[in-house]
Copies of this chain bind each other. A is one copy, B any other.
Amino acid sequence: MSSTRPGRERTPCIVLGATGSVGQRLVALLAEHPWFELAAVSASDRSRGRSYGEACSWSLPTPMPRAAAQLTVGGIEPVEEWPLVFSALGSEVAGPAEEAWARSGALVVSNASSHRMRADVPLVVPEINPGHLALARRQPTRGAILANPNCSTIGLSLTLAPLWLAFGIERLHVVTMQALSGAGIPGVPALSALDNLVPFIPGEEEKLPRETAKILGTLTAEGVRPASLSLSAQCNRVAVLDGHTACVSLALGREVGADELRAAWEGFRGCPSELALPSAPPAPVLYLEEEDAPQPRLHRELGGGMAAVVGRLRPCPVLGWRYVTLSHNTLRGAAGGALLLAELAASRGLLEG
């Protein structure tokens, strides 16, 4: 890992799927990253051979980084070798491409769902289950694939982990109200978003319980034994640009007061802040006091867009406790989360081959 430490050179990396909505966030974040350096971008056939500045319909409010704009867009297969690969590919193409990069020796940090449930692929939220990274060494390839969880799962898991550790969780019910950027580019048509909501997101209600159980699960010789908790998710797309909100109700493993819950969240840190990883938020869970918080437009940027923001903790007559949580889906839930995962992997020596 010497190459990624202060005083050393930055590790060159490539972003696969760089023209999409998560890819653009990655490109923006990498422009100022102290450890990693954006060396190449790749995308689907149509963009290949053009400069990134021309090929990409940039949709972030900050300007496209100049250096990125001049990169030529390459294909998604490994032609050159890069030690670090960020994949923002759609799941319909991510699977084989990411495997090819792992065979080429790269450390692949993937946002796609393709490999998340593979027994030897770590599905990691750095504050929660950094130990699962050990799975990567069981992969048969020279390099390895690390999976960043689904955008809704990450924020939810951050709020669950401290409760899970302190009190246990038996059952929970989650209704999400997810942002448009989660559907990528072009994504949801405006005619479906304005004066409307869509109470269905393909695959999402399955991913949330499955991935949460793996993240909170226990590493064994056979892989991760999923946490045993019953989770029901209903997922909706609403007219918000960034920031997934979730209404959570849960039954804990024992009787507990609001103060204890608050303390569990506020005391939660995890290794990213201990290791002072560059993308780590000061505190991964922030509790807001206002009776009408959190709100996407006001609070999604808190903690640099890397925190799960919580509010409205109150008793639930059906399950025990309920609260509202919000996290930035393309930062914490995708690009920022992938970056933090790569930083964790780097600090654990996974980039040194």
Contact = CB atoms under 8 A, between A and B. Distances in A.
A2 to B, nearest CB: 36
Contact of A190 (B180, B231, B294, B312): B180
B200 A239 contact: no
Contacts of A301: 61-62
Interface residues of A, number: 63
Q: Which of A196, A236, A241, A324 counts the most B-chain CB atoms under 10 A from its CB?
A: A196
A40 to B, nearest CB: 24
Given A190-B194, A295-B196, A230 B312 contact: no
A59 B291 CA distance: 15
A97 to B, nearest CB: 25
Interface stretch (A152-160, A170-178, A271-279): A170-178
Interface string A77-110: 0000000000000000000000000000000000
A317 B234 contact: no
B196 A298 contact: yes
Interface of A: 21, 58-63, 171-173, 175, 177, 180-181, 185-200, 209, 230-232, 234, 236, 238-241, 245, 247, 249, 291-302, 311-312, 316-319, 322, 324
Given A59-B298, A231-B318, 11 more contacts: A58-B298, A173-B316, A180-B190, A187-B190, A195-B195, A196-B298, A230-B317, A232-B249, A232-B316, A234-B247, A234-B324
16 contacts: A59-B192, A61-B298, A173-B319, A177-B177, A180-B191, A180-B194, A185-B189, A190-B190, A190-B239, A194-B194, A196-B240, A197-B238, A199-B292, A199-B324, A232-B316, A238-B239
By Cβ-Cβ distance, the 3 closest A-B pairs, closest first, are A190-B193, A175-B175, A186-B189
